[in-house]
Amino acid sequence: MIIEIKEELAKIISKNANVSFDDALASLEGGKVGDLSSKIAFVLAKEKKANPALLAHELAAKLAKAKPDTIEEIESTGPYVNFYLSPRAYASIINEILEAKDHYGSSKNNKTSKNDKAGKSKTKKEQPEKKGKVLIEFPSVNPNKPWHIGHLRNALLGDSVARILEFDGYVVERMDYIDDLGLQVAQSLWGFLNYDSNPHGKFDQWLGEQYVGVAKKFEDDKTVVDGVRDVLKLMEEGNNEVSNAGRSMAEKCVLAQYETAFMFNIYHDVLIFESDILQTIFEEGMDLIKQSGSVIRATEGKNTGCWVVQLSPKFEEEFGKMDNPQKVLIRSDGTAVYTGKDVIFHLWKLGKLKNDFLYEEFTKQPNGKTAYKSSVRGKKMQFAHADRAINVIGVEQKYPQRVIVEVLRTLNFKEAECLHHLSYEHVGLPDEKFSGRKGTWIGFTTDELAAEAQSRTMEKIKLDGVGEKEKKDIARIVGIGAIKFSFLKSSSDKRITFKWEEALSLEGDSGPYMQYAYVRTNGIFSKTKEKEKVSEIKFNDSERKLLKDLASFGEIVTRSSKELAPHHICQYALSVAAAFSSFYANSPVIAESDESVRRTRLAIAKATSIVLKNALGLLGIECPERM
């Protein structure tokens, strides 16, 4: 509704101020004085060399004569033209939310703000513009350990961004890359084959603890080093007893990791194993790279015999002068380095390779959907071929991720601009750091974090007449919600220090506070059998503030989608919860004697409930019906 009102105002501003529709629309923002404000007078002042306050005053007088029925009053304050929404506009906001329900704020409900050159907005009958396919890769944890809380940040960020993009109208494919050929996995496989092959407990936890022991042996025992190298070579060759054992071990570990993922309602569409990349698309990818005129075979120096790409001077400016700006993609023995393999993988993601994987069912997920795995057997399926690929990887991988983009640019693939590294900073507990090799994650796994959250939440539940099963369910929803909100409320480039007292607080910026706000909205309806009905009443300040916040949800979703930033949703939801608290305190609902006011306030509570649930849903946070 706010988008339509802005476009309506932009038309009359354009006509009366003699500016373009786009400039008029860009000048409108949430007002500190009015409900909306225009700063178009600043644009006019530059052109006319006049006082912007005087121009704003003159324009406000003109606009007041042409105001639409969604605007009650137009006035100027200094250089700003202020617009006050009418009761009809506020009633329309409520009705729109009640009608759209779980689609409110999504591209299915939002009217586009894109306009043609004549400044005409699209009508309600027109369909939202179709958006492309986005492939988002996360969390890509090595298949030889459980998730620790650093991995969890990756998973939650990827999951929430996928939800937001989907809500905003994109076709989203959730992919998990499984590096089953890395040195770490080879160490674990050597330990499994030579050290201990009798797992106990959750497989990923057991395997991770065993890996810590093998990694220590690997540091100073040549026998172990040689054994691991032999195992790695056989894994890379494939189609042998050792490689088959490695694949089986990796899949069993990922299945255990996914038990953790499912606790947090995190699901995937497809898993791509590195071993299948070598067997399926690697050779075609190497040929495509070699055929590029931008890749040469070095004939001198330390890279003799290697296929290399020359990185641009601009790249050196960003990351500092390099001793050798040549980047090796393929070694002299014909094997690809990490960058070469990753370039090939991304060419496949973006549909540049003819060869493709076959797929088999990996696991049935609790959301009812099947996660598929790449395979050299199985059936053909339509994965990848994305318009855009997003990799959720830690900030320490900024350089290698940028190298991939730079190499694709140098190879003259325009698709390089379709790759995005969604980086994130580290997360930890106070005074704790985590290392997979050293095993400092032991005692701080995601499973243990989830169990601790449920335990602490159970202690806080004081509901009378609630059975043990329901208490546990509430504790699970609130505990997991507390963790998710704590991890997502900060920008991904900020380091997180997780603190229980902040995460589980019912006051301030926490998941439980948000869930409690939702419970309060629905609690009003438990006290009455009366139904909501919207009337054009004289809305008070607390009602207007809340409704303006609710009306801006679509714009927040669009911003979060564009910036791949769930923290905007968190901050928005907090603002809505605070506005509802003020409304709850200043606008009696059940006790209101005027029926039209009472039923309209019931409708406001219902609309708030819908928006909070939709917003928290984009963070993957469930809403309990009582707390």
DSSP state of 112: P
pLDDT of residue 508: 80
Residue 55 in contact with residue 81, Cβ under 8 Å?
no
Mean of per-residue pLDDT scores for the chain: 90
Give the helix/strand (H/E) hosting 133: strand 133-137
Neighbouring CB atoms inside 10 A of 110's CB total 22
Residue 414 and residue 315 in contact, taking contact as beta carbons nearer than 8 Å? no
| Residue 602 near residue 552, CB atoms below 8 Å | no
- Predicted confidence (pLDDT) per residue in 44-59, tens digit: 999 999 999 999 999 9
- Superfamily (CATH) of domain 134-428: HUPs (3.40.50.620)
Torsion of the alpha carbons at 228, 231, 235 and 241, rounded to the nearest 10: -150
Mean pLDDT of 358-366: 98
pLDDT at 278 > cutoff 90: no
Give the mean model confidence (pLDDT) for residues 29-50: 91
Least confident of 237-241, 270-274, 579-583: 237-241
Q: Where are the domains of the chain?
A: 2-85, 134-428, 458-618
**Which residues are CB-contacts of 590 (< 8 A; sequence separation ≥ 6)?**
524, 527, 528, 598
What pLDDT was estimated at residue 607? Answer: 98
Produce one character per residue of 21-34: b if its CB has 16 or more CB atoms within 10 Å, e if not.
Answer: beebbbbbeebeeb
Asked whether the predicted pLDDT for residue 593 surpasses 60, the reply is yes
- Please give the residue that has the higher pLDDT: either 27 or 320: 27
pLDDT number for residue 440: 61
pLDDT at 255: 98
- The pLDDT assigned to 387 comes to 96
200 φ, ψ to 5°? -140, 145
Rounded mean pLDDT, 388-405: 93
Residue 606 CA to its chain's centroid (Å): 27
Residue indicated by tokens 């939440």: 457
Calpha distance 498→487 (Å, rounded): 8
- Cα 513 to its chain centre, rounded Å, is 21
- How many residues in the chain? 627
CB atoms within 10 A of CB 616: 23
pLDDT band of 257, cuts 50, 70, 90: very high
The confidence score (pLDDT) of residue 126 equals 46
Judged against a pLDDT cut of 60, whether residue 297 lies above it is answered with yes
Structure tokens at 356: 């493709």
Per-residue pLDDT of 158-209, as tens digits, reads: 999 999 999 999 999 999 999 999 899 999 999 999 887 788 899 999 999 9
The pLDDT value recorded for residue 381 is 96
Is the pLDDT score of 311 beyond 80? Answer: no
Q: Which residues pair with 178 in a beta bridge?
A: 273
**Is the pLDDT reported for residue 491 higher than 90?**
yes
Given this model, what pLDDT does residue 121 score?
40
> CA–CA separation, 623 vs 130, rounded Å?
30
Strands 270-273 and 295-297: unpaired
8-state DSSP, 421: E
Give the confidence band of 320 by pLDDT, cuts at 50, 70, 90.
Answer: low
Could you check whether the bond before residue 79 is cis, i.e. omega within 30 degrees of 0? no
Measure the CA angle with vertex 460, ends 459 and 462; round to 5°: 105
| CA distances in angstroms from 482 to 34, 161, 393, 512, 523, listed in the order given | 36, 18, 23, 6, 21
Q: What mean pLDDT is predicted for residues 456-485?
A: 89
The pair of three-digit structure tokens given for residue 88, joined into one six-digit string: 């009809």
- For the domain made up of 458-618, the CATH class stated in words is mainly alpha
Q: Which pLDDT value is given to residue 441?
A: 64
Tell me the percentage of the chain whose pLDDT exceeds 70: 93
What contacts 486, CB < 8 A, 6 or more positions away?
496, 498, 502, 503, 510, 511
* Spatial separation of the C-alpha atoms in residues 54 and 422, rounded to whole Å: 46
Stretch 325-347: mean pLDDT, rounded?
86
- Give just the sign of the alpha carbon dihedral 149, 152, 157, 160: negative
Task: Give the pLDDT confidence score for residue 196 in this predicted structure.
Answer: 78
Band of pLDDT at residue 25, cut at 50, 70 and 90: very high
Confidence band of 288 (pLDDT split at 50, 70, 90):
confident
Choices 3.30.1360.70, 3.30.70.870, 3.30.70.330, 3.90.226.10: CATH for 2-85: 3.30.1360.70
Is residue 383's pLDDT more than 80?
A: yes
Distance CA(558)–CA(167), nearest Å, equals 9
Q: Is the pLDDT of residue 389 over 60?
A: yes
**In the predicted model, what is the mean pLDDT of residues 55-66?**
95
Q: Which residue's entry shows tokens 């004081």?
A: 462
β-pair type (307-310, 326-330):
antiparallel
The more confident residue out of 500 and 134 is: 134
Distance CA 329, CA 310 (A): 11
Among 68, 60, 69, 8, residue whose Cα is nearest residue 34: 60
pLDDT at 243 over 60: yes
pLDDT tier at 326, thresholds 50, 70, 90: confident
pLDDT at position 120 is: 41
Q: What is the mean pLDDT of residues 228-246?
A: 93
User: Exposed, middle or buried by CB within 10 Å (0-12, 13-18, 19+), for 120?
Assistant: exposed
Q: Which residue has the higher pLDDT, 4 or 508?
A: 4
Is residue 177 within a helix (H) or strand (E), and if so which, with residue range? Answer: strand 171-178
Q: What is the pLDDT of residue 427?
A: 87
Q: Is the pLDDT of residue 41 over 50?
A: yes
Neighbouring CB atoms inside 10 A of 455's CB total 11
Tell whether the model's pLDDT for residue 117 goes beyond 70.
Answer: no
Using alpha carbons, select from 195, 209, 190 the residue that is nearest to residue 256: 209
> Cα–Cα distance between 391 and 154 in angstroms, integer?
10
Beta carbons of 570 and 488 less than 8 angstroms apart = yes
Give the whole-angstrom CA distance, residue 447 versus residue 472: 16
